[in-house]
Chain A
């Protein structure tokens, strides 16, 4: 893979305690990065390799210099749309979260440093005010699914597939706001028309 390069255009950052909040003005998503991912996002400038980033994590956070930690952080950044281009997205065999957590635990590293990004979609004023009905959530899921499945880009994007799968699960669990958030992710990745 190419040296990873974080996306910074249209993104502003604020530090909150030990976390970094990023607001993506292009996609209207907000992300909370733990220290590990925040450091990778800060240092990934296209000139440093994954190995270089692993050494930086080791030096600054006293973590084992393990590329799997960096790869997991890059995977989280990629999922959040915070890597600069598709070419730099993670495509090598990825370590699982569990695997990385186990390795870090063996090295007596705090679980709080396992790479993690939490994301939310910034609502429109109407979204913030209204509750999504099950009927609307059902229609939205069907609409996006019908648009996504015939789209070749959908089958090339693991993120779009996992977002759509998660949206279906969230619909079944009645978690409609989260479902709409994931559908919005699919819409943005595939460039589909926004939901009405």
Chain B
């Protein structure tokens, strides 16, 4: 208890500053690790999309490609931006509004065979709704043609 009031107060300020700095560093690291980029099927096909981290891919579910396993919850289907097609695998329950022709966004990783293994499939809760990422991807693919 030999410290005087002023130096105690200084110490407190230093601790707070260090705490906030630590939180910032840890925060930015966590931020960097958990940032997910969105890719269109065209970008996946031309190799822009990385295969070592979690990404998001979106497009329209291609009609006639939805295939269900008979003994598990595995589902396979194709996604397209009307230019390229990516195959997708997902094990679990699809959202209420999942259907052929619908715009969806999936989160997951590309495997060695170029198949996108999804952990999560999102279709939004409105029948007329198109995810904005998908809308933009379709437009970009359209302009390239």
Do chains A and B interact in one complex?
no
